[in-house]
Structure 1
Amino acid sequence: MKHHEGFTLIELVIVIIVLGILAAVAIPRLFSITNEAETATVANMVAGLESAMSIYSARQYLRAQPIAVHNPFDDLSNIPANYNGAVDPVDPANTPDGTWSWRAGDNWIIYNPRSPISGGMVINGETFIAYQVQTVLDGTEVVGLRLTTTDLYEYAWQ
């Protein structure tokens, strides 16, 4: 009797079916994990910028110096590698995915997401996540800075 080596057609079909099922389950989860990671990255950067602005505001206030709206990336002890710099106007062609930019003309921090989003600020057909640096007032006195976004620029990952 001859001994045959290799797969039978049935075994090959079963392996292909199992791989197809695994791919159908794993691929959507992979995209979800990617979005969750990018959401966390954006939240961490925003928190870091807010913290840096708070430290700047406290220093200025204690020194009796004016608190002025400015690029909060300048307040960070380490500028992130994905900071694209001060860009005015923001041009999607020169703003790689996953990078932050400062738009000085109207005090917006712009993030160009890697993953698709709905909502957000649309610039030349591209959708960005946007936060504006605004003053915090106590009466008429500027006592701090904060990052805000408007309902118009609320976003959600797709």
Structure 2
Amino acid sequence: MPLSYQPGERWQYDLAHDLLGVLVARAAGQPFAEFLHERVLDPLGMAETGFHVPADSIDRLPSVYFPDGTGEFPVWDEAETGRWSKPPAFPSGAGGLVSTVDDYHSYFRMLLDHGSHRARADPVPARGGADDHQPPDPGAERRPYRAGPRQRAPQLRAGTARRLGLRDGGTPRPR
């Protein structure tokens, strides 16, 4: 693939994930969005995640506000007519999914469970994202965490656990 710009002329984030989405679609013989639903989203029960919000649910999507430099926060992306109100021309492998808190929770629960999910008997292959790449102490050997069948997942730092609604580093708080 040719460069968009000469080195040092201009910076552009890479297009690798967008290209990966195209390659997945071609290899699977189906659109990238359908592939994601079939292989990732539907098996995790993430029925409200996609590249756009259907018209019958758009009233649940808030508008996006952005500071204008004067201290005001005008509407930057109106929900009813904005970015997620219709399917994109190109579903990007780099981003662009819109989701709900519950669907996001399902995804992170799968990561914490090392690729397994309550709705599936066979695990979704997501082992690499759940590995703990930090040593337990500064003097420890640097190697990825590998949980055995009866070992607990690595504990989250207290601040991260609180933000995710978890207590003692990994146990969900009762509702």
**TM-score using structure 2 length:** 0.24
TM-score, normalization by structure 1 = 0.26
Q: Which has the higher strand share?
A: 1
Larger Rg belongs to = 1
